[in-house]
C-alpha cells in the first residue's frame, strides 16, 4: 500500500510525491534487490535513479516484479554528461527507458550543466511534447546555469535537484527557484548521513519534543520548506522511519533554530566547476564511484 505522502504540483499540473527513495550508490545486486523490495513493501512509489548510478535495469526489474501498476510509480532518471547534445540525449533516453522497462518517464533531468546542455534541453522538450516524459528538469544547476537555460528554453525547467541540508540550505537558490516556479528537490537531504549533524544538540532537542528521530526532523524541515526529498538507505528500520514524517509539523521557532545551522558546508563537489575545469568530468566519475 502506498504510504501517506504529500504531493507537490509542478507548474504543468503533474503531482509529484514529496518523499521519494534515492538509489545512488546502491550497486550491490543483493543489497539493491532487498532495499527496493522493502521500500516498495513500506509504500515508497517515488524512485530516483540515473544512468551513471548503474542500477536503472535493476530498478526496472524490481518494479516489474512488484506487480503494482506502472501508473502508481513516479520514476526519475537523469542524462549523464557524456550523453549531452540533441541526438545523444534522444539515444540516452531510449536506453534508459528500455533498461527501466517503461514507455515513459515521470521525470527526466539533466544531471549536470556540462557543455551542450542546450542541445540536451531541446531533445528533452521534444520528448516531453511527445508525452514520453511527464516532468523535465535539471540537477546541480546554479543560478547562472538556469539564467542561461531560461534565455533559450521554449519550456522552462520544472525542477532543480540540488544538494540541500540544514548546513547547506541553498537559501539564495531556493528563493530563485520559488520566484521562477521551479520546484526544489533535495539530494543528500540528511547531509550524507553526517554523524555530527545527526548528533547536533539543537536537533536532538527538537526531535525529543516531537518523539521523533533527528533524521525525521530534518526531513520534516525540508517538507516545511516545500522541498521534495529523496533520502536513501538500505537499512529497513531507517527506511521505515524516513517514511514516518507526515504526522507532525515544526513550528516557526523550531524552523528558525534549524536555519541557524547553516554553515555553507557542501558534502559534494561544487557543480559550478564543470564549466571552467576540463578535468571535472574525470573528478565526477571518481566522486560517483
Q: What is the pLDDT of residues 90-123, one digit of tens each?
A: 999 999 999 999 999 999 999 999 889 999 999 9
The confidence band for 273, taking pLDDT boundaries of 50, 70 and 90, is low
Mean pLDDT of the chain: 93
Query: Residues 262-271: pLDDT tens digits?
Result: 999 998 888 8
Cα-based distances in Å from 155 to 121, 149, 150: 9, 10, 8
**All cell numbers assigned to 279:** 578535468
Q: Per the residue annotation, which of 53, 117, 128, 280 is the catalytic one?
A: 53
Phi-psi region for residue 20, left (φ > 0), alpha (ψ -120 to 50) or beta? beta
Tell me whether strands 15-17 and 7-9 are parallel, antiparallel or unpaired: antiparallel
Is it the case that residue 185 has pLDDT exceeding 80? yes
Tell me whether strands 46-48 and 74-79 are parallel, antiparallel or unpaired: parallel
Q: What is the rounded distance in angstroms from the CA atom of residue 117 to the CA atom of residue 102?
A: 24
Residues in Cβ contact with 256 at an 8 Å cutoff, skipping those fewer than 6 apart: none
Predicted confidence at residue 193, as pLDDT, reads 81
Query: Residues 74-96: pLDDT tens digits?
Result: 999 999 999 999 999 999 999 99
> Among candidates 266, 140, 262, 126, which has minimal Cα distance to 202?
262
Rounded to an integer, the average pLDDT of 177-183 is 98
Cα-based distances in Å from 112 to 24, 120, 182, 189, 266: 15, 11, 16, 18, 16
**All cell numbers assigned to 230:** 529523496
Predicted confidence at residue 283, as pLDDT, reads 54
Is it the case that residue 280 has pLDDT exceeding 80? no
* 53 belongs to the catalytic site: yes
Per the annotation, does 111 bind a ligand?
yes
Predicted confidence at residue 230, as pLDDT, reads 98
> Among candidates 67, 52, 62, which has minimal Cα distance to 21?
62
Predicted confidence at residue 85, as pLDDT, reads 96
Is it the case that residue 164 has pLDDT exceeding 70? yes
Phi-psi region for residue 188, left (φ > 0), alpha (ψ -120 to 50) or beta? left
Question: Is residue 288 a contact partner of residue 52, using CB atoms and an 8 Å limit?
Answer: yes
Kindly state which CATH superfamily the domain 7-287 is placed in.
Answer: NADP-dependent oxidoreductase domain (3.20.20.100)
**All cell numbers assigned to 203:** 536537533
Query: Residues 193-219: pLDDT tens digits?
Result: 888 999 999 999 999 999 999 999 999
Is it the case that residue 281 has pLDDT exceeding 90? no
Q: What is the rounded distance in angstroms from the CA atom of residue 2 to the CA atom of residue 217?
A: 22
> Among candidates 188, 156, 192, which has minimal Cα distance to 170?
188
Predicted confidence at residue 192, as pLDDT, reads 85
Predicted confidence at residue 276, as pLDDT, reads 43
Predicted confidence at residue 289, as pLDDT, reads 43
The confidence band for 1, taking pLDDT boundaries of 50, 70 and 90, is low
**All cell numbers assigned to 271:** 557543480
Rounded to an integer, the average pLDDT of 41-63 is 97
Predicted confidence at residue 28, as pLDDT, reads 86
3-state SS assignment for residue 58: helix
Question: Is residue 114 a contact partner of residue 273, using CB atoms and an 8 Å limit?
Answer: no
Share of the chain above pLDDT 70, in %: 93
Is it the case that residue 277 has pLDDT exceeding 60? no
> Among candidates 69, 8, 18, 19, which has minimal Cα distance to 42?
19
Amino acid at each position: 500500500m502506498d504510504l501517506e505522502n504529500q504531493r507537490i504540483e509542478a507548474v504543468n499540473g503533474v503531482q509529484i510525491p514529496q518523499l521519494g527513495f534515492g538509489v545512488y550508490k546502491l550497486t550491490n545486486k543483493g543489497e539493491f534487490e532487498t532495499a527496493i523490495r522493502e521500500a516498495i513493501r513500506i509504500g515508497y512509489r517515488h524512485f530516483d535513479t540515473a544512468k551513471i548510478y548503474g542500477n536503472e535495469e535493476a530498478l526496472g526489474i524490481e518494479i516489474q516484479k512488484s506487480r503494482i501498476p506502472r501508473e502508481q510509480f513516479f520514476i526519475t532518471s537523469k542524462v549523464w554528461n557524456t550523453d549531452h547534445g540533441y541526438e545523444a540525449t534522444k539515444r540516452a533516453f531510449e536506453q534508459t527507458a528500455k533498461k527501466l522497462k517503461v514507455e515513459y518517464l515521470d521525470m527526466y533531468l539533466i544531471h549536470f550543466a556540462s557543455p551542450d546542455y542546450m542541445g540536451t534541453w531541446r531533445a528533452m522538450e521534444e520528448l516531453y511534447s511527445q508525452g514520453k516524459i511527464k516532468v523535465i528538469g535539471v540537477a546541480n544547476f546554479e543560478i547562472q546555469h538556469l539564467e542561461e537555460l531560461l534565455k533559450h528554453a521554449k519550456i522552462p525547467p520544472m525542477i532543480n535537484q540540488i544538494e540541500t541540508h540544514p548546513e547547506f540550505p541553498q537559501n539564495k537558490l531556493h528563493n530563485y527557484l520559488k520566484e521562477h516556479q521551479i520546484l526544489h528537490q533535495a539530494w543528500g537531504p540528511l547531509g550524507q548521513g553526517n554523524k555530527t549533524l545527526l548528533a547536533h544538540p539543537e536537533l536532538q532537542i527538537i526531535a525529543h519534543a516531537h518523539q521523533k528521530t533527528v533524521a525525521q526532523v530534518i526531513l520534516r524541515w525540508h517538507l516545511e520548506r516545500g522541498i521534495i526529498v529523496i533520502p536513501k538507505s538500505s537499512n529497513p528500520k531507517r527506511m521505515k522511519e524516513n517514511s514516518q514524517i507526515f504526522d507532525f509539523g515544526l513550528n516557526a521557532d523550531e524552523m528558525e533554530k534549524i536555519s541557524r545551522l547553516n554553515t555553507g558546508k557542501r558534502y559534494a563537489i561544487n557543480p559550478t566547476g564543470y564549466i571552467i575545469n576540463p578535468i571535472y568530468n574525470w573528478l565526477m566519475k571518481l566522486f560517483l564511484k
